[in-house]
Structure 1
Amino acid sequence: MATVTASPEAESQSETPKARRRFVWPRGSRLGRLIIVLNVLALAIVVVGALVLNELRSGLIAARIDSLSTQGELIANVIDQTATVGEPEPALDPYVASQLLQVLFIPRNQRARLFDAHGKALADSFVVADRVDWKVLPPARKPGDKDAPPHLTPAAQARAEKARQALADEIAQAMKGRPVAGTRIAEDGERVVSVSIPIQHVRAVLGVLTLEAGDVDEIISAERKALLPFIVVAMVAIVLSSVLLHRLIAVPVLRLARAADHVRLQGARAISLPDLSERRDELGDLSRSLEDMTHSLSERMDAIERFAADVAHEIKNPLTSIRSAIETLDLVTDPAARARLLAILQNDVNRLDRLVTDISNASRLDAELSREHPKAIDLSKLLAEVASLYEAQLRPGPAPGSVRVRFGAEIPRPILVLARETPIGQVFRNLIDNARSFSQDDGEVRVFVIRPRGKSTVAVIVDDDGPGIPAENLETIFERFYTSRPKGRAFGGNSGLGLSIARQIVEAHGGQIHAENRKDEAGAVIGARFVVELPEVRE
């Protein structure tokens, strides 16, 4: 059986420019959605909490300013109506103003101070209410200590002077007849909400009433405490998401990497993968793909070992015959016997050359299948071209090589299959060569295409009029290096790889190939038939 393998040229594929990358929501990725949702949720908790508390802080300060302004305007009106003396130039009576501040209710967390038109302090609610501020005293200084107490340090004195200047500026602005409100640092270093209300008699500014609320730091502290639950929840969400991602991604990937390292370092043929088959995400798909890949590689390595053993066995036979003929050639003097030995040598050399060629073709088959990409092929046109090549090489008369090849299709329209043109053409050439080798000189090999009923495939049938195939060998003929010749046929004319290569190519295209015997009405074998089924591409 002669085989022909044409090496297809690698198709040049021009690299297309990379499309602009855009963010796409991972619709088919559960793990991707989980990662995005968990991290966005943790971030959203912190952002929402911060926004809510910022609004609360601003609202509390604004509410305190409104409250102090209302209270200050009321006190300023009372002082104007009660403590104003002098005509025609009005002025404030310090004694009456102090009594009013003592009578009026001033909460303990607030401080009221009254200044005259020149900015001189007239009354202080802390003084008239006999309020004494107390603080924990610092540790007693030891003899020889040169450090001053905190309240006497230059930095503390500078802060106090800055606070007094800020109060003076606020009073000066209020003297212009407009209320002043805001936050500032008091003499003791605390942040206070301050409102300065001018005391006006008609249009004359008699003084300024300043109300301070020193609970701003308490408000800020309360806000920070209120923010803590949001921070804790966010941190818990981030930690949980990190632990979850670690267990779902990092640990399985690490186990997969260790399994791969085990194969690389110890030369193991099979890989023991972690059981992730139950997962319905990318890692589950990766685990199943790696398992299938390693199983396929293991089978491929077993096939390579069997192929190497078969090759060694097949090559050994002609080499043994050649060595025996060479050793005998020097001992034979009869010209006829020497001619027979030379003929044996020539036959074995041709057989060895045929074996090496077919073995090379078989070993390159996987690479050729991976280089050429499948495309829609008109099967009728391809078979017609193959048949025309054999007709062009036809020899006249009943001689070797005079077997005709006739092609006929029962389907008039084009028959499209998704295949690689060169390898699939090799399948039909191998089948036709095999059929011709078993046919009588001046015989005929018939090739035709049909569409089996109830199937989405097309079938290519190759018939010959040879002796047929023994029933027990209908499957074994597709094994590598298997040859079975009827009596009278020359031994060594075939390598036994043609049908094996044909089956490998057909199965790589998702098809099937099988052999059967043709019989007449009486049940006698009248030839062999090979059937190749391939998926059809519907237009």
Structure 2
Amino acid sequence: MTRGLARVAEFVRPTRIGVRLLLFNLLVLFLPVAGVLYLSSYEQQLLDTQERGMVQQARVVAAALGSVPLTGAQPMLDRLGQRSEARIRVYDANGALAADTARVHAAVQPVEAYPPADVDGGRKRLIYRFGAWIVRARRTLARAILRQPSPPSSSSVKAPTPSEVRAALEGRYGAQTAFTPGQRSLTMNSAVPIRQGSGVVGAVVVSQSTFRILRALYRVRLRIFEVVLASVALAALLTVFASATVVKPVARLRAEAAALATRRTKLPGGFVSVDRKDELGDLARALDDLARRLDAHIRLLEAFAADVSHEFKNPLASIRTAAEMAAHAQDPRDREKFLDLLVRDVDRLEGLVTGVHELARLDTQLAHETPALVDVGALAGQLVADLRVIGDARVHLDVRAEGSCAVAASRDALTQVFENVIVNARSFSPPGEPIDVIVERAGDDCRVVVMDRGPGIPEAHLSRVFDRFFTYRPQEPGRRDHAGLGLAIARTIVEGYGGTIAASNREGGGTSVEVKLPFALPLARSRL
């Protein structure tokens, strides 16, 4: 039970993104809320329309009574009262009531009395009371801010002559609005003077309740308020759902990423959200791929450190042995032999240090440099021309690409790649045998192939020729000046630019090294 409550609490616990989602969802409710507020303006428009109709009705009655004595007003009002929803009263010049449509049926209440029965029971509903309280609070606040007095109750008007009647007897338009006693509607009174000749002989007052207007508006308000409350509940549910399906998984990803950052051993099995089919699943898979790449990079560094340590031990041990033997040698020729061995081992160690430094700086160099467009055919042609300058005419270039074969890379880095591959081919190729360099377009790649006629590579070693410190020279078993880093450096650079490098044996003997780099045709056309 406690665990279940804890899970529920964790499920609904607010988060910053969850709060923002809730605010956004609530902002969507602005339109129905604005509709509720607009109903007040619409109500005022309806009341103004009703008042104009009452004024027109009062003017018609006043015009009809302007040519007859006021003593004949009651029969006229009796006929009008049967066809009009409004109450019509006629006052004489002294402010006394001369005629009233309410006298048609003495038992009938005046029209402005708000019907006490609420046939649909809507006003008894809690949601109605809550909405009505909000409307009343808004009106009260508006009156307080604007300092508008509340309409008086019709029962509070105790003066013998109403104010609107006095205004009409003075020749002006008179109006008065009051609450219906004990009810929530208003009674609107409009008074116009009755003129006979140039004088005012009385006043016509038309009174009508706003009950029908308010009843229709209250029903609309109730429906809109129900929609608003349902929307608020739906927004809250959607926020909780979004928080559970978006925020919580993101929090789990953050926790897993933080746990990954603090681990110093093998990476865990992966992120838990990689099976999702949405954007969070894409993010989890990207993080998982990043973590695996990071793990592979860490393992690469560990293997690199182990290889460096192993490769350094051999020349260091040889240097120590040569130094000790030279120190104890009595024969000058033996001492000179050991010193020569010492110098060769120091040179070998220096070459290892240079190669290791080159490998170590490649990642940083590739990450921070700004690639430029390099025409591979022109670069290969320059390398071949440089070799011929130093007297090596064995390297032949064949550029088969139509136009420029440009890639986005560093010119110096690509120069190092092709130099290492060509130098490796020269070291294996017998004297007088040609070395062919082919540059061509292969799909979306720029392909460079360097072929020699050397002894070839055993099948078991084809996958290792690009490993660090690997060298296979059976025809030169005594040479130790090759560190085995040239092709490893070439592979690091090529893969850093998104390319591939591979070695294979040629038919008839020899080795073929193939380099593929992504072609940069759009950039090449715009800049070259």
Q: 1:532 aligns with which of 503, 515, 524?
A: 515
Q: 1:204 aligns with which of 199, 214, 236?
A: 199
1:427 aligns with 2:410: no
Structure 2 residue matching 1:530: 3-state secondary structure:
strand
Aligned equivalents of 2:151 and 2:499: distance in 1? 93
Q: 2:168 aligns with which of 169, 174, 180?
A: 174
| Paired position in structure 2 for 1:415 | 405
Q: 2:472 aligns with which of 484, 487, 495?
A: 484
State the Cα deviation string for residues 302-327 of structure 1 (Å, max 9, x = none).
21111111111111221222222333
Structure 2 residue matching 1:477: 3-state secondary structure:
coil
Contact 2:399-2:440 within 8 A present in 1 as well: yes
Choose between structure 1 and 2 for higher RCO, CA contacts under 8 A separated by at least 6 residues. 1
Aligned equivalents of 2:194 and 2:269: distance in 1? 91
Q: 1:355 aligns with which of 333, 352, 355?
A: 352
State the Cα deviation string for residues 324-349 of structure 1 (Å, max 9, x = none).
23333332222122222212221221
Q: Report the CA distance between 1:513 and its aligned residue.
A: 2.0
Distance 1:407 1:41, change over 3 A: same
Q: Map of 1:187-202 to 2, 5 A cutoff?
A: 191-202=186-197
State the Cα deviation string for residues 150-209 of structure 1 (Å, max 9, x = none).
xxxxxx9996799789x966445534656556x734596974433223223355322223
| Paired position in structure 2 for 1:139 | none
Q: Report the CA distance between 1:410 and its aligned residue.
A: 3.8
Q: Map of 1:257-268 to 2, 5 A cutoff?
A: 257-267=254-264
Q: Report the CA distance between 1:511 and its aligned residue.
A: 2.9
Contact 2:401-2:440 within 8 A present in 1 as well: yes
| Paired position in structure 2 for 1:279 | 277
Q: Report the CA distance between 1:445 and its aligned residue.
A: 3.5
**One-letter code of the match for 2:330?**
T
Structure 2 residue matching 1:460: 3-state secondary structure:
strand
Unaligned stretches of 5+ residues in structure 1 = 1-33, 85-91, 137-155, 395-401
Unaligned stretches of 5+ residues in structure 2 = 1-20, 117-148
State the Cα deviation string for residues 83-123 of structure 1 (Å, max 9, x = none).
x3xxxxxxx55xx7689878974999966555443556667
Which segment drifts farther, 109-118 or 266-275? 109-118
Q: Report the CA distance between 1:412 and its aligned residue.
A: 6.4
Count of aligned pairs: 459
Q: Report the CA distance between 1:250 and its aligned residue.
A: 1.7
Distance 1:490 1:409, change over 3 A: farther
Distance 1:126 1:413, change over 3 A: closer
Distance 1:120 1:262, change over 3 A: farther
| Paired position in structure 2 for 1:239 | 236
Q: Report the CA distance between 1:459 and its aligned residue.
A: 2.6
Q: Report the CA distance between 1:477 and its aligned residue.
A: 1.0
Distance 1:243 1:194, change over 3 A: farther
| Paired position in structure 2 for 1:515 | 503
Amino-acid identity (%): 29
Aligned equivalents of 1:343 and 1:260: distance in 2? 55
Q: Report the CA distance between 1:251 and its aligned residue.
A: 2.2
TM (normalized to structure 2)? 0.72
State the Cα deviation string for residues 12-42 of structure 1 (Å, max 9, x = none).
xxxxxxxxxxxxxxxxxxxxxx999977864
Contact 2:180-2:186 within 8 A present in 1 as well: no
Which segment drifts farther, 487-496 or 167-176? 167-176
Contact 1:119-1:172 within 8 A present in 2 as well: yes
Distance 1:407 1:363, change over 3 A: same
Q: Report the CA distance between 1:228 and its aligned residue.
A: 1.1
From the two aligned structures, give the one with the greater helix fraction: 2
Aligned equivalents of 1:127 and 1:481: distance in 2? 120
Distance 1:237 1:109, change over 3 A: farther
Q: Report the CA distance between 1:389 and its aligned residue.
A: 3.1
Contact 1:468-1:517 within 8 A present in 2 as well: yes
Tell me how large the CA RMSD over aligned residues is.
4.3
Q: Report the CA distance between 1:482 and its aligned residue.
A: 0.9
Distance 1:232 1:473, change over 3 A: same
Contact 1:403-1:440 within 8 A present in 2 as well: no
